[in-house]
A and B are shown apart, each in its own frame.
Chain A
């Protein structure tokens, strides 16, 4: 308890420092600008579909037919066909159970937005918070004041870590809340009860729907946010490490962004390079496992991704703490 008593003021101090730097306001501002844009785009798509299709079932059956056409083509690479084949089976499952997978409402929009944001957008927001956590102190020269106080160094880094985690949680929750509030104004604030299917098991090129089951979309959203939090936290831990290692904030942001973007590119290449699955940024799209989409590299599972992310997280914590507690501060 005594240790906590001493830590709490430090955490409070670090939390308020991030708040005063107005990083969180920047994040909110970005969200307030981006979400309406995507809401409008989605609205336009819905309008077009409404004009062309009488019923969502017609739209779905047309989509399935279009996927089947790409499956029939000889020019499409086998890896693409695999993901299309799985998508066809999933859509067919929705159609067979008479559930609209894209019903236009606030909760569905939020669910789609979050799952699209997990590989690039959330890491970017996390970097806005984390990248100058330590390197900012080096750049401003305040690191010396911080380290000359009669507090153990690990406690300083630990309090920074806790403050960062708090803001990561706030960012994920605020994104979901803002998404729901803004898109709901256009699409309506409903959809919590709507069934969403999860538990599709991918076996090679086919999908086993034996374990598929419906859960209310509200619960699905919560599960999705939880998975996003885990990938965002991994990015945060890595960013903290980079921020300790690199003294310039710009360099720290660039390093992390490069790592995250390269992961996205690698996942999109339907990689035949199997060891790429050990790279953290290939594993960030945890929400895919919930949706039953094929993973970027065959053989990846939720368990595998969680262990991989945990390894990266723990390794970066070890590096951060050992470097930060031993490092000489020079000018």
Chain B
């Protein structure tokens, strides 16, 4: 190959560079026009609704798809390993059904989530519906923040200070109403999946003044069970007994959330309830 004469080289560089410049200036013009004088345009995406999973026993199906929603308990707050009960549940299900593929679809839990907010998410958030419809096992926790009115990360002292047993009692009906809406929505989105609700416990059982709170918690659990009982695919696993005598073993240092072992017990109970 003969080296280009400098005249030709200049012509090639010059033409390419001028064309590039024109292109870029045009792009800049489009960008400025689009940004300074925006025109809203309706874009209708196609909606994508996945098919519901087959009904029936987990052991007979090809795969187990788990979607978890709810508050910090589902998120796994307090578990130093970050697994929470959801990941431990996946591991236990893999042991229980070695021939089936077990997959965690999504864990969409948000720390501090309350039932009314969850209900809104279920109603309007397409992502939630999408992830829930794919699942044949749905696990959820909700209500703790409605009742205790404390966000995750609050120090245990503060949590106990803010607790007022009378208020707890007064808030109960309202919170249960919200739970009823959540359960109804959940059923509307996916009537086929096995739904497990993790019952509530009293994290302050070992503080004498707040021991009485357990009675309110138990009322919540009873009423929650009544709500779930309307649907044959829904059930509830109890957790209150874990956090009474063994509270020191199963509660994390924030004195509100379970620790790794506490979550392991919850996961074990969920597995027992699934078939």
List the interface of chain A (C-beta within 8 A of B). Answer: 12, 15-16, 19, 54-55, 57-58, 60-62, 64-65, 68-69, 72-75, 92, 95-99, 165-167, 169-170, 172-173, 195, 197-199, 201, 210-215, 219, 222-227, 229-230, 289-290, 302-303, 306
What's the nearest-Cβ distance from chain B to residue A255, in Å?
26
Q: Does B54 contact A (CB under 8 A)?
A: no
How far is B150's CA from A74's CA once the two chains are assembled, in angstroms? 12
Interface contact A61-B111, CB-CB below 8 Å: no
What residues of chain B lie closer than 8 Å to A215, measured between beta carbons?
Answer: 34
What residues of chain A lie closer than 8 Å to B229, measured between beta carbons?
Answer: none
What residue of chain A has the Cβ atom nearest to residue B16's Cβ? A170
Interface contact A219-B46, CB-CB below 8 Å: no
Q: Does B9 contact A (CB under 8 A)?
A: yes
Interface contact A69-B75, CB-CB below 8 Å: yes
What residues of chain B lie closer than 8 Å to A195, measured between beta carbons?
Answer: 43
Residue of B17, B26, B32, B38 touching A199 (CB-CB under 8 A) = B38
Given contacts A74-B151, A165-B21, contact A219 B30 (CB under 8 A): yes
- Complex A-B: 15 CB contacts under 8 Å: A15-B17, A54-B134, A55-B134, A57-B127, A58-B131, A65-B108, A68-B110, A92-B125, A170-B17, A213-B39, A213-B40, A213-B43, A223-B31, A227-B31, A303-B36
Q: Does B88 contact A (CB under 8 A)?
A: no
What residues of chain A lie closer than 8 Å to B18, measured between beta carbons?
Answer: 166
How far is B39's CA from A169's CA once the two chains are assembled, in angstroms? 29
Interface contact A214-B106, CB-CB below 8 Å: no
Given contacts A72-B112, A99-B45, contact A302 B20 (CB under 8 A): no
How far is B25's CA from A306's CA once the two chains are assembled, in angstroms? 14
Count of chain B residues with a beta carbon within 8 Å of a chain A beta carbon:
55
Q: Does B157 contact A (CB under 8 A)?
A: no
Interface contact B31-A73, CB-CB below 8 Å: no
Q: Does B41 contact A (CB under 8 A)?
A: yes
Q: Does B1 contact A (CB under 8 A)?
A: no
What residues of chain A lie closer than 8 Å to B6, measured between beta carbons?
Answer: 16
Interface contact A211-B38, CB-CB below 8 Å: yes
Given contacts A75-B153, A211-B39, contact A226 B28 (CB under 8 A): yes
What residues of chain B lie closer than 8 Å to A227, measured between beta carbons?
Answer: 27-28, 31
How far is B131's CA from A65's CA once the two chains are assembled, in angstroms? 12
Interface contact A169-B21, CB-CB below 8 Å: yes
How far is B128's CA from A68's CA once the two chains are assembled, in angstroms? 13
How far is B6's CA from A223's CA once the two chains are assembled, in angstroms? 34
**B6, B16, B47, B131 pick with most chain A CB within 10 angstroms:** B131
Hey, what's the 0/1 contact readout for B234-268 against A, CB within 8 Å counting as 1? 00000000000000000000000000000000000
Interface contact B17-A169, CB-CB below 8 Å: yes
How far is B45's CA from A92's CA once the two chains are assembled, in angstroms? 13
What's the nearest-Cβ distance from chain A to residue B28, in Å?
3
What residue of chain A has the Cβ atom nearest to residue B17's Cβ? A166
What residue of chain B has the Cβ atom nearest to residue A64's Cβ? B127
Q: Does B100 contact A (CB under 8 A)?
A: no
Interface contact A167-B17, CB-CB below 8 Å: yes
Interface contact B41-A214, CB-CB below 8 Å: yes
How far is B46's CA from A166's CA once the two chains are assembled, in angstroms? 44
Interface contact B30-A62, CB-CB below 8 Å: no
Interface contact A201-B38, CB-CB below 8 Å: yes
What's the nearest-Cβ distance from chain B to residue A295, in Å?
12
What's the nearest-Cβ distance from chain B to residue A221, in Å?
8
What residue of chain B has the Cβ atom nearest to residue A18's Cβ? B13
Given contacts A96-B126, A195-B43, A226-B24, contact A15 B10 (CB under 8 A): yes
**B26, B111, B127 pick with most chain A CB within 10 angstroms:** B127
Interface contact B46-A58, CB-CB below 8 Å: no
Interface contact B14-A12, CB-CB below 8 Å: yes
How far is B23's CA from A229's CA once the two chains are assembled, in angstroms? 10
Closest 3 CB pairs of A and B: A226-B27, A226-B28, A61-B127
How far is B36's CA from A290's CA once the two chains are assembled, in angstroms? 10
What residues of chain A lie closer than 8 Å to B103, measured between beta carbons?
Answer: 54
Interface contact B17-A302, CB-CB below 8 Å: no
Interface contact B151-A173, CB-CB below 8 Å: no
Q: Does B29 contact A (CB under 8 A)?
A: yes
Q: Does B115 contact A (CB under 8 A)?
A: no
What's the nearest-Cβ distance from chain B to residue A231, in Å?
10
What residues of chain B lie closer than 8 Å to A197, measured between beta carbons?
Answer: 43
Given contacts A60-B127, A229-B27, contact A69 B35 (CB under 8 A): no
What residue of chain B has the Cβ atom nearest to residue A232's Cβ? B24
What residue of chain B has the Cβ atom nearest to residue A74's Cβ? B153
Q: Does B109 contact A (CB under 8 A)?
A: yes
Q: Does B210 contact A (CB under 8 A)?
A: no
What residues of chain B lie closer than 8 Å to A306, measured between beta carbons?
Answer: 32
**B18, B28, B40, B45 pick with most chain A CB within 10 angstroms:** B28
Q: Does B130 contact A (CB under 8 A)?
A: yes
What residues of chain A lie closer than 8 Å to B107, measured between beta carbons?
Answer: 62, 65
What residues of chain A lie closer than 8 Å to B125, measured between beta carbons?
Answer: 61, 92
What's the nearest-Cβ distance from chain B to residue A64, in Å?
6
How far is B44's CA from A99's CA once the two chains are assembled, in angstroms? 10
Q: Does B233 contact A (CB under 8 A)?
A: no
How far is B15's CA from A75's CA once the two chains are assembled, in angstroms? 56
How far is B242's CA from A213's CA once the two chains are assembled, in angstroms? 53
What residues of chain B lie closer than 8 Å to A225, measured between beta carbons?
Answer: 23-24, 27
**B35, B45, B111 pick with most chain A CB within 10 angstroms:** B35
Q: Does B149 contact A (CB under 8 A)?
A: no
How far is B43's CA from A95's CA once the two chains are assembled, in angstroms? 13
What residues of chain B lie closer than 8 Å to A95, measured between beta carbons?
Answer: 126-127
What residue of chain B has the Cβ atom nearest to residue A166's Cβ? B17
